[in-house]
Structure formats: structure tokens, C-alpha cells
Chain A
Amino acid sequence: MPKKVLKKLLYQWYREKFQAETGEIPPIPEPVPKPSAGEHTLSLSLDENLAYVKKTLGNGGDLIVRDFCYAEGTHRAALIYLDGMVNSDLITQSILQPILCTHADVEAAALKNLVLCGGDVTESLDMATLLDKCLYGDTVLLADGYTKGIIVSTKGWDKRAVSEPQTESVVRGPREGFTENFRTNTALLRRRIKNTALRMDQIQIGRKTNTNVCICYIENVVRPEVVEMVKTRLSAIKTDAVLDSGYLEEFIEDAPFSIFPTLGYTEKPDVAAAKVLEGRVCIIVDGSPFVLTAPMLFIESFQTSEDYAVRSFYASFNRFLRFFAYFITVFGPAIYVAITTYHQELIPSTLLFTIAQAREGTPFPAFIEALIMVFSFEILREAGVRLPRPVGQAISIVGALIMGDAAVSAGLVGAPMVIAIAITAVSGFAVPEHTDSIIILRLLAMICAAVLGGFGLAVAVLAILIHLGSLKSFGVAYFDGFTASRNQQDTIVRMPLWFMKKRPKGIVYHDVVRTQPFIPPAGKNSENGGG
């Protein structure tokens, strides 16, 4: 059945039901048509223009129309702006004061060049453009007898200050994070890459929200086809609302049904800048502190900005630790289930007796125990995130300590299982970017291990590897860096920065060299007595 017919039938059903209950027929709301670009131009009459603006924007409480006369009452004009979106002082200083203090007979056409004091002043014939600008926090100046509207940039809404991001905290390294403000975010990126080749192409997405989206890249570094792909996919989005970068991610990712993300995200400007410098494209979305990066490699989830601020040995150790933690968190419960169910001979005798003793009174098989514990932990984690901070922490402690202990005392699960799941859970926080995929993979691995033991686990691992190997992110192999290729300098081991001479192969286009060959002169200094 076509959607339109279905909607009509539903509305009719709703109308009949409402009429039956209240005896009234609800009015059918008429949608206010948004003027498309070029459709409606300004008329010479100020009153007509103001009437049109009030009709289109709805004459709400935040729409301010300041009608005034200038040039000793010979000319009439009006300011239109949305209260809360503008900086009122700026309106007074850059628009009202200069105009009202001008006693000379200045035509409206000359206001822009001779009177107004704003830094960003433009004009437009088109009503749609004027309304759009008004919605974005600019002030529109309309004059009687003048067919153009003057747009003065007066954005001044309340915004969050630049602060440390909560999802990517570091011990050493920059602590600035993106905010919800679009221009602040673009400025944060510009501050780090002061290069004429940095491009910031802006588009609007979302039929109702008209969200600003900025595509950032360095022209001679990024592959043109990647930029083209990003722009094509973004332009093809026909949706009502884009409220967060996560919305865009679902529309433009390569493998929407894969559990692995093929678009990276970050809350830190220095991370975004580093990715752009390697040849990636950065997508900044107005209203979201999370910036998307493309293409994404699997290895990126294990790289943090702190790795490049500390020594390479320590960074490599941490990198390896993250990989190990990822392996433990995904396959830990599955290995435990497989070994305790199918391959008990692998367990050393002493440990075997301990485990057997701990599991003696438990009614469930190892797989069910593991499922209970995993789901309990996931519920606690989700509850801890949703609850207010003080209460959330208390709930986590209650859940983790008391419920775990109570479960063991009651004989529902064995103590070794609680320990195994606890280690699994904590390891999962070492790789926060893959939290969503970890949960699914963990379950899949557990099911395979429960059904077919070690063989099932091996099959699951191979299936995951096959899937990872087949993924691509904007034309680049997703699982690059773990196979026989040249991109091994920054994967499990983080080589010193002076060793990473070239950008990652496969992502970069033209400007391949990032560091000239250099060996730190440590040997020379020590020979010369530090001179």
C-alpha cells in the first residue's frame, strides 16, 4: 500500500476517533511553505516585507521587529532578528547607533558602505536567503523603498566554552575539545593547521534543520576521489533533521550492516588535525562536538593522541596493552566457556580443582553463567551512564561489588566466572571506540564457543577476520596495517616520529613525505660532552 494512502487512512481513523470522543473535528494543520531560493524577492514596501516575514517565521515571541526612522525621520527601516540568537550589544553598536546618529540624508543603498560598522555585512534580493540568515543569528535590515535586505553578522547565542572532552581524556597532551558551536570548531582546527591548502567546504544538510556541515581537508595531501566520495554521499542525504554527527555517519558509511564503524570520530582538535594531515577528510557538524573523519582504519581505534606526546617505547607498550585488552574483552568469556566445557585438560590441575569446587553448587552451565554475568554488567553500565553522576557512581559500586558477591554466595554463578567477566569488562574500557562492536562480538564468540568449543571459537575468529578483511572505508582497506604492507610504523608499535617519514600508504595522494630523513643527534652530543 503506498505510504501516502496509508497516512491518509491513519489520519482519517484518528479524526474519527477524536470526533467520537470529543465531538470536535481537529483542524488539519496547514504546513507553511518555505520559500525556495529565488522564489520571493523583496518588494518596495516595508510593510509588505514585514508582513511576509511575520507570516513565514510565525510572529513568535523570539522574533523581534524593530521599526525605526532615520535621517531625521525621512526614511523608514526595520531590524529583524531572533532574540537569544544575537548579540544585542553588537546590534546597538554596529547597526542602530551608526544609523540613528547619522543626521545626513543617506539612502538605504548607501547604508552598507557608508554607515554600518559591522565586520561582515552583505546584501541580498532574495527573501529566502534573508530568512535563512536570520535563523542563523544574523540581523536583517529592511528599508522602505529599497529592494535589497542588508544582512549584518551579529551571532551571539550562549555557547559552551572550550573544555576538556569527557570521552578522550589524556595525561599528557592538549586538552581542548570541540564544542557544539560550528564556528568555534572550525576555528579550533584552523588554529592547528595554519596552511593555505586547508580547505573548508561548507554545505547544508537537513530539510528542516538546515544544519551547517563543513568538509575539511588539505588539498595536496588528500586523495581527490575521497573528497569527491564524501561530497557525493553528503549531497545525496535527503532527510529532515541532522542533529548530530552520528546521523550523518549512518547515511554515508560504507558498511551500514557491519558491526565495525567505518567512519572515525573524535572530540579533540589535535586528533582531527593529525588525521587531516595524514590525508583524511574531517566532517564538522553544527551542533555536535564529535567530528567525523574518513577514511577510517581499524587500527585508529587503538591510537590515542597521547601516544604521540609520550616516548615511543611507552606508547608502543600502551598500544600493545590496548590490543591485548581488546582480545581479552572480546574472547575472554568465550575462551573461559570453551576451556571449562570442552577442553578441561588445558587447565592446570590445581586450578582445575579450584574451578570445579567453585562451580560445584551452581545450577547453570558455564555458558549460561557467562551470559547472566555479561548481561548484568551491560545493564549496570547502561544504568550508570543514564543516571545522574553521583547516583550513577553509587549504583555502579553497588552493582559491581554487592550484586557480584551476592550472586556468588547464593550459588548462582561461580567466583571464577565473576573474576573472568570483571576482567573482561574492565578491558573493554581500554578501547572505547569499539564498545558497540565489542558487545556483539563477545556474544557471538561465546555462542560459538558454547556450541563447538575451541573449534567454534577458531571459526568465529576466522569469520571476524574475513569480515574485517573485506571492509573498505571510502575506498581504503579497513584492516590495513596488520597484513603484509608498508604501513607498519604506527600499528602495534609506534615508531619514533623521526622514523615515520611517509604518510600512511593508501590514504595519501600526492604529498607523501611528512618528515625529512633525520636522526636525533643524541650520539654526537654525548661524545662532545653535551656541547
Chain B
Amino acid sequence: MNPVPQNNTINNVSFMFTVACFIQSSTMLTAFVTTITGHDTWIVTAIASILSIPLMLVILALVKRFPGKGLFEINDFAFGKIGGTMVSIVYMFFFFLLTSLNLRDASNFINQTVMNNTPMMALSICFMGLVAYATYKGLNVIGKYAAAFVILSFFFIGISMLTTMLNADAGNFLPMLRLPVVKYIQGTHVLMTIPFGELVCLLVIAPYIARNGKSLGKELCWGFFMGVITFLAVVVRDTSVLGNTMRYFALPSFQTLKLAKFTDTLGHLEIIFAIILLVLLYFRIAILYFCYLVMLSKILRFQNYNYLIIPTSCVILVYSFIIFSSFQMHMDYGNRVIPFLWIIPELILPVITLVVILIRRKKEKAPDTQNAPEVNDAVT
């Protein structure tokens, strides 16, 4: 394969913050699980994060066995040329759907919270234009600011917890563990699928990380830990303020932030938090869009994905408006059906890939694995 261009490499530390930022951006999507488990969401969050660790280990194992190679090459090796391409097409559609869904969520969020009278198409076009510009400039530019975004979100989540402290009530956590078991299973499944399972995109990003010979395990663990802590903090904050009523809100975080007050003078800070969430969402969509473009360009044997940016972004833009006929349907299927659908690319396929690779490696020698891409020390 062609060597990775310099403007598409990120270093280990940026990778760690990329993982953290990716999970943090899902704090807007807590409605998928809060509508199921209500005030016990924090319990399923903790369980889901622990149960997601094996998935992280599978991803790490695949990345370790194929240094410098991405998901497409791994599939090619595991399933052969044709089989590998079919599996890559499945992943490509997966990333395409995720990008469209997240774009729809972002536009919806902005429309409902900040810009009520602006047509959603205008917001989507602006947002997608920004994401396309970032992807055109390369992964290096997207990942460069991950650390700043993570620190920013830590800061604002801390501020939000302080400002909503007066509205918090420990009694809102009670009664605990009174829901049917299937609800906890469903909540855990949804969380493992939607924020944590989407980290399978790291398999696409892996060849673009300048590892300099080091393993990525530590960075992945720390990034995952930071993301989970943030997610948990948001859920705990929302539960302490809203209690069981959080199951009735499409955006429980936003409702909590509406109650945030910084002295009597400064209120309505939810708009500032909405802007911060918007920044995190941009990051998430940019990463997913990058993964989609990379997979598409590899399947179509394009040297450079830049030429595909505008056509694909138009398609994603349009598809985000027809993907579900209403937001309620989106929420409903997101709670009940999508977790089963996403199991295929997030769990089943990576595990099967790993098993096949292990079996094949036992039977035959490993192919000539290329060295890690050359990295200029000047690029951070």
C-alpha cells in the first residue's frame, strides 16, 4: 500500500485523547439509555464499560498483529481478497450509517437547543462543510486538538457540576435496582453498542498512529478510562438533578444545564454547554467520516480520498434527512433494534477476524508485514 502521507499521522498522546474525546462526545446520546434505565443509568454505564474491555482487547490484539496496516488490509488477510472486500464493504456501510446518524443527531441537537428557527438543512450543510474541510486537511488536523477538547470538556463538566450542585439530590438515585432485569441488559447492550462499541473505528485509524515502536495499549486504556469517567460524571450529574424524570427527556443533559446558574446574574448557560457539545460532536463525526472515506477509497482503489470528499458528503447530508422518518422512530429503533444490528460490525466481525487470523498464523508463517509508516519528528 502507499505510505501514509505526513498530514495524516497522529502521535500516541493525540491518539489517547482521540479515544477520550470520541467517548466524551457521546454524552449527548445518553437519551438512548436513560429512556430505558432512568435513574439507574449510572449502574449500566459502569457495567457496560467493564464489559467493553474485552472488545478493546480484541481491537488491541488486531492492531498489534498488523502494525502499519488498517482494517481493510486485516480483512484482506483474514478472509481473502473477495471475502475481505465484502467484509470491508459491511464496515464501510457501518461507518456511512454512523456518520449520517450522528450528523442528524447533531443538527437536531442544535436545532432544538440553540437555533430553533433555522432550517435544519442549513445547520447540516454548515456542519458537514466543516467536517469535510477537516477531513480534507487530514487526520493530523482532526487529532491535533483532541487534547484541548478533552480538557475543555473536563473543565465545563466540572463547572456544570458545581453550578447544578444546589439542584442535586442524592435521593434521586433511589430506589436502585428495581427495574426488570431485561432493562439492565438492554441498557448495558445499548451502551456497549453506541458509545463504546464504535471504537472499532480505531482499527481504521491504527496505521495513522506514529507509534515509534511502542504499543498502543496504555494509550487506549487511558483514553477509554478518561472517556468513561466523563460519561459517568455526566450521567451521575443528570441523575442527581433530574432523577427518574430523565427518562422522559430527549436531551437530559440539556435539561440539567438549563437549571445551572452561576450566581443569580449569569443563568441560561446551557447555550455555552451546547456549543462545547457541538465541538465534541464535530470531532466524533470527523473521525467517523474519515474512517468511511478511508474504507471507501481502499475498496475503490483510490490513491487519495480527497477527490471523494464532496460527493460523499452530499450523499451523507441527504441521507441524514431520510435515515429515519422521525426523531421518535430514531430513538425507538436506537433503543430496541440497532444494538442487535451493530453487534455484527462491532463485536462479531472483529472476534471472527481475530480467531481466523490466529488460526491462519498457526498454520502458516505471517506474511511480510511492512514497517510502520515513516514519521517526521516535526509533526506532532
Which one, A455, A463, A479, A482, contacts B275 given CB within 8 A?
A: A455
Asked if B126 contacts A452 (CB within 8 A), the reply is: yes
Q: A346-B268, A482-B148 are in contact. Are A462 and B380 (CB under 8 A)?
A: no
Report the bound CA distance from A230 to B260 in whole Å. 55
Complex alpha-carbon distance, A500 and B148, angstroms: 23
Closest residue of chain B to A344 (Cβ to Cβ) is: B268
A348 adjacent to chain B (CB < 8 Å) = yes
Q: Which of A342, A463, A479 contacts B144 (CB 8 A)?
A: A479
Assess whether B7 is in contact with A459, with CB atoms less than 8 Å apart.
Answer: no
Shortest beta-carbon distance from A298 to chain B in Å: 12
A356 to B118, CA, bound (A): 24
B114 in the interface, Cβ–Cβ < 8 Å? yes
Question: Given A475-B378, A480-B380, is A458 in contact with B141 using a C-beta cutoff of 8 Å?
Answer: no
Q: How far is the CA of A480 from the CA of B140 in the complex (A)?
A: 12
Determine whether the beta carbon of B137 is less than 8 Å from that of A459: no
Q: Which residues in B have their C-beta under 8 angstroms from that of A345?
A: 267-268, 271
Q: Are A346 and B271 in contact (CB under 8 A)?
A: yes
In this assembly, does B147 line the interface, its C-beta being within 8 Å of a C-beta of chain A?
yes
**A363 in the interface (beta carbon within 8 A):** no
Q: Which residues of B contact A507 (CB under 8 A)?
A: 378
Residue of A nearest to B151 (CB): A484
Q: Report A-chain residues with C-beta under 8 Å of the C-beta of B123.
A: 452, 455
Question: B17 on the interface (CB 8 Å rule)?
Answer: yes
Comparing A189-197, A310-318, A464-472, the segment that makes contact with chain B is: A464-472
Q: Select which of A348, A467, A484, A506 is within 8 A of B147 by beta carbon.
A: A484
Size category of the B interface is 35 or more
Indicate with 1 or 0, residue by residue over B271-302, a CB within 8 angstroms of chain A CB atoms.
11011001100100000000000000000000
Q: A453-B115, A455-B114, A506-B380 are in contact. Are A484 and B146 (CB under 8 A)?
A: yes
Pair count A-B, CB < 8 A: 96
CB < 8 Å: which of A346, A458, A467 contacts B279?
Answer: A458
Q: Which residues of B contact A163 (CB under 8 A)?
A: none
Nearest CB of chain A from residue B361's CB, rounded to whole Å: 34
A458 to chain B, nearest CB (A): 5
Residues of A within 8 A of B130 (CB): 459, 462-463, 466
Cβ–Cβ contact A452 & B118, under 8 A: yes
Say yes or no for B266: interface residue by CB 8 A criterion: yes
Contacts of A346 in B (CB 8 A): 266, 268-269, 271-272
Is the pair B275, A469 in contact by a Cβ cutoff of 8 Å?
Answer: no
Cα A456 to Cα B146 in complex, Å, equals 21
User: Are B271 and A469 neighbours in the complex by a CB distance under 8 Å?
Assistant: no
A174 to B14, alpha carbons, bound, how many Å? 40
Tell me if A459 and B127 are in contact (CB < 8 A).
yes
- Asked if B2 lies at the interface with its beta carbon under 8 angstroms from chain A, I say no
Q: Which residue of B lies closest to A339 (CB)?
A: B271
Residues from chain A with Cβ under 8 Å of B314 in the complex? none
B126 touches A456 (CB 8 A): yes
Contact partners of B357 in chain A: CB under 8 A = none
A342-353 vs B, Cβ < 8 Å mask (1 yes, 0 no): 110110101000
Chain A interface residue count, CB cutoff 8 Å, equals: 33
Alpha-carbon separation in the docked complex, A482 to B267 (Å): 31
Residues of A within 8 A of B282 (CB): 462
Known: A484-B13, A485-B380. A469 touches B126 (CB 8 A): no
B93 within 8 A of A: no
- The A-contacting residues of B in range 308-365, CB under 8 angstroms, are none
Q: With a CB–CB cut-off of 8 A, which chain A residues contact B126?
A: 452, 455-456, 459
Instruction: Give CA–CA (A459, B123) in the complex, Å.
Output: 10
Residue of A343, A348, A477 touching B380 (CB-CB under 8 A):
A477
Given known contacts A453-B115, A455-B275, A483-B147, A505 and B13 CB-to-CB distance under 8 angstroms? no
Cβ of A358 within 8 Å of any chain B Cβ, yes or no, is: no
Which one of A455, A465, A466, A482 lies within 8 Å of B115 (CB-CB)?
A455
How distant is the Cα of A469 from the Cα of B286 in the complex, in angstroms?
15
**Whole-angstrom distance between the alpha carbons of A458 and B7 in the complex?**
24
Q: Is B206 an interface residue (CB 8 A)?
A: no
Residue A476 at the chain B interface, CB threshold 8 Å: yes
- Are B141 and A469 neighbours in the complex by a CB distance under 8 Å? yes
User: Is B134's beta carbon under 8 Å from chain A?
Assistant: yes
A454 touches B279 (CB 8 A): no
User: Hey, what's the 0/1 contact readout for B39-50 against A, CB within 8 Å counting as 1?
Assistant: 000000000000
Given A483-B380, A485-B11, 15 more pairs with CB closer than 8 A:
A345-B268, A346-B266, A454-B271, A454-B275, A455-B110, A455-B114, A455-B278, A463-B130, A466-B130, A469-B140, A475-B378, A477-B378, A477-B380, A483-B147, A506-B377
Contact sample, A vs B, 15 pairs, CB 8 Å cutoff:
A452-B126, A454-B275, A457-B275, A458-B275, A458-B279, A459-B127, A462-B130, A467-B137, A475-B378, A477-B380, A479-B144, A483-B144, A484-B380, A485-B11, A485-B13
Q: Which 10 A-B pairs give the minimum distances between C-beta atoms?
A: A470-B137, A469-B141, A485-B380, A484-B147, A484-B13, A345-B268, A348-B265, A506-B378, A469-B144, A458-B275
